[in-house]
């Protein structure tokens, strides 16, 4: 199992480690069983950890971990995330024929 040091990608989900929480109002999204993203195949990117939190600040989804934790997905290799604050995003692609950016679907 690979340990994500500062960045990771699992299918269409990407993350980067932050040194601190950004300023702004904090909105709790989930605790204990965190669905980081749903895939169109019906599978989800999930963390199961009693101490982990998924929050939103300023439109950014953030994952706070107090210990190393596993990000699971049925179709991708599991990734071990180090403790800390992780900003979670989705992979984007650019269609040069339509001149538009869109989210990659997993």
| pLDDT 10s digits, 2-36 | 666 799 999 889 999 999 999 999 999 998 999 99
Torsion sign, CA atoms 69, 5, 23, 104: negative
Domain definitions of the chain by residue range: 2-103
Map 25-83 to HEC letters. Answer: CEEEEEEEEEEEEECCCCCEEEEEEEEEEEEEECCEEEEEECCCEEEECCCCCCEEECC
Question: Which comes out higher in pLDDT, residue 66 or 101?
Answer: 66
pTM for the whole structure: 0.82
- Is the pLDDT at 106 greater than 60, yes or no? no
Question: Which comes out higher in pLDDT, residue 60 or 1?
Answer: 60
pLDDT tens digits, one per residue of 72-98: 998 888 999 999 999 999 886 667 777
CA dist 62 and 57 (Å) reads: 7
């Amino acid at each position: 199992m690979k340990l994500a040091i500062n960045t990771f990608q699992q299918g269409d989900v990407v993350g980067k480690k932050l040194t601190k929480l950004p300023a702004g109002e904090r909105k709790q999204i989930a605790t204990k069983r965190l669905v980081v993203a749903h895939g169109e195949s019906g599978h989800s990117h999930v963390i199961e950890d009693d101490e982990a939190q998924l929050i939103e600040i300023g439109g950014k989804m953030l994952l706070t971990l107090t210990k190393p934790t596993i990000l699971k997905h049925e179709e991708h290799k599991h990734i071990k995330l180090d403790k800390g604050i992780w900003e979670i995003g989705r992979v984007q692609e650019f269609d040069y024929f339509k001149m538009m950016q869109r989210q990659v679907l997993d």
